[in-house]
Structure 1
Amino acid sequence: MTAIIAYDRTVANLIDKLSATGHVTHKSYRKTSVTLHHNAGRYSHQGLLKLWTKRPASAHFDVDAAGAVAQYVKVNEYAWAVGDVPGNQRSISIEMANATLGPGWTVAEVTWTNAARLAGWLFAKVIGERPTKSNLFYHHHWSSTECAGPYMDQIYDKALAAAQEAYDHFKDSHPAPGPDTEPFPGESFFDTGRKSPIIAAMHHRLVAEGCNRYESSVNADAWGPGDVKSYAAWQEKLGFEGDDANGLPGKTSWDKLQVPNV
């Protein structure tokens, strides 16, 4: 399954389509920095994906000319982004569409501010450190290139300040509603008065997959009401990562949970 981030704004999910190009290494690493790039072109999300089907390259995210975000690679995986093995292992890369082409390679304010905001979220929710000059980089930090372009070089301090502002906003906030927090219509998932279908189905799947160590002490045939730890264990079993394995039931989990004869 894919693992799109639980950002508080819409994120277009292009993870599977990028994976189909083969231009990503499906191996996870602990991330310690964020790297900003420019497209070297005025690409849409789909246009960038099309480019990467021909060019052996990728990045975790792209922010387009309107400030919209797309995700191409799971945050902890190795994108083919910075031209440096340790850099690809440790950094999360964000591409930005250009507003103008060379030699200026400008980036619209709506694009770079939304990229900085996304970086702040990643520092708060994935990396766990405040962005500084020691961990928010441009592509040329890692390899011999002018990316993210002369315009972004001129406004680095503004980009860093915007990322820090976003980090400060997100670091103490409650988890943003993500793809697995949408309530399933008509279902009280942790209703103590009855066995809900989703709790029964979760039990069926977890026991089948050897997770019975989380079995409820109240009733061996059902998960305990409000058993967030058990639910998170199930999510992890099915491939949820990071903030998606949050122990909160929702429609995405329900859809993934469907098993015969539950």
Structure 2
Amino acid sequence: MEGLRHAREELRPRRREGGPREDRHRRRTRHRQPRRPSGKRLHRLRRARGRERCGGPEVTATIAYDRPVSNFIDKLSATGHVTHKSYKKTSVTLHHNGGRLSHQGVLNVWKTRPASAHFDVDASGAVAQYVKVNEYAWAVGDTVGNQRTISIEMANETLAPAWQVSEPTWKNSARLAGWLFAKVIGERPSTGNLFYHHHWSSTACAGPHMDTLYDKVLAAAQEAYDHFKASHPVRVSNTEPFPGASFFHTGRKSPIIAAMHHRLVAKGCDLYQSHANADVWGPGDVKSYAAWQTKLGYDGAAANGTPGETSWDKLQVPNV
């Protein structure tokens, strides 16, 4: 009984605090519209709502290159290994990874090592951006150098002592450099503004192999510069550019090879014994590509299963 009595008391409506005058005030103001935020607060709210509609925080954009560029800018910025201050750039500097690193692998190194660069070109020639082009990357070991140069890292094909860089990697690095000279720096590449890392500090980077190729790298950068200065903006290609004949060797692993594998099958040139490990170059790729070359009318040494630029372009391997 005692418990029920207390329960009934709990159910009785309680008198509002403040008396009848306060009750009347509440009734008068019950439907009043909330105060509208003004000025800076309203602007901040609108920006926040815009980010929410877009699915999250704004993402720093990569360069408007005519080929895909993987975006690691905000992830690199989160490491703190970059100085967010802009400078006028007057040169491009090429480096080597000192390893066979993927784009993510490069970022992983820079998460713990206080270093960075603006771009990386991987073993297949694909480009990634880590730092905005006009900002100060921690790249060359020289203050003025970091202020004035745009740094491009290149994946190695072999390790010490040669530190070789594959043809697709250095050619696509030179092409990117040509674009940067045309669109950012505004000068044609020359021996006075296209450098290797050892120009700025005491290091062997970009390695002895790249030292022997400097003239070819410069010529490729100049060719790209002339192309980009003369051409109007072009539509981004949806097919993979020819990575060079040296790219295709036994054991080479790349998503480009997997994409080629599927195109050969689609073209009726399937001489594979298995479709496992489609991203690794092997005997099945040689036989199937030779069938594709034969289908195009090539014979003899021209149909030996090693891709050439003309047959590759006709295969139309999609971008990966």
Which of 119, 127, 137 pairs up with 1:79? 137
The structure in which a higher percent of residues are helix is: 2
Please give the alpha-carbon distance, in whole angstroms, between the structure 2 residues aligned to 1:159 and 1:172: 20
The one-letter code matched in structure 2 to 1:107 is V
- Whichever residue aligns with residue 122 of structure 1, its letter is L
228, 231, 235: which one pairs with 1:173?
231
**1:161 is the counterpart of 2:224:** no
Secondary structure at 1:37 match in 2: strand
TM-score for the superposition, normalised by structure 2: 0.55
- Name the SS of the counterpart of 1:160 in structure 2: helix
1:6–1:177 CA contact under 8 A, matched in 2: no
What's the C-alpha RMSD, in Å, of the aligned pairs? 1.0
Tell me, yes or no, if structure 1 residue 16 matches structure 2 residue 74.
yes
Question: Partner residue of 1:210?
Answer: none
What are structure 1's unaligned runs of at least 5 residues?
Answer: 179-262
TM-score by length of 1: 0.67
Greater shift, 166-175 or 124-133, is seen at 166-175
The DSSP-based 3-state class of the residue aligned with 2:104 is helix
Q: How many residues align?
A: 178
Q: Residue type matched to 1:127 in 2?
A: I
* Contact 1:6-1:176 within 8 A present in 2 as well: no
Q: Which has the higher contact order (CA 8 A, sep 6+)?
A: 1
CA contact (8 A) 1:26 1:78 kept: yes
Q: Hey, what does 2:174 align to over in structure 1? A: 116
Contact 1:138–1:147 under 8 Å retained in 2: yes
Q: Which amino acid aligns with 1:68?
A: A
Instruction: State the shift of 1:176 in Å.
Output: 4.3
- AA aligned to 1:120 is G
Counterpart in the other structure of 1:33: 91
User: Runs of 4+ in structure 1 displaced over 4 angstroms?
Assistant: none
Q: Is the 8 A contact 1:23 1:57 kept in 2?
A: yes
Alpha-carbon deviation of 1:173?
Answer: 1.6
* C-alpha contact 1:4 1:13 (8 A) present in aligned 2: yes
List gaps (5 residues or longer) in structure 2. Answer: 1-58, 237-320
Q: Give the superposition deviation at 1:177.
A: 5.1
Q: Which aligned pairs between 1:1-262 and structure 2 lie closer than 5 A?
A: 1-176=59-234
- The CA deviation string for residues 199-231 of structure 1, in whole angstroms up to 9 with x for no partner, is xxxxxxxxxxxxxxxxxxxxxxxxxxxxxxxxx
User: Cα distance, 1:3 vs. partner?
Assistant: 3.0
Higher Cα Rg: structure 1 or 2?
A: 2
Counterpart-to-counterpart distance in 1, 2:124 and 2:117: 19
Q: CA deviation digits over 1:68-124, x for unaligned, max 9?
A: 000000000000000000000000000000000000000000000000000000000
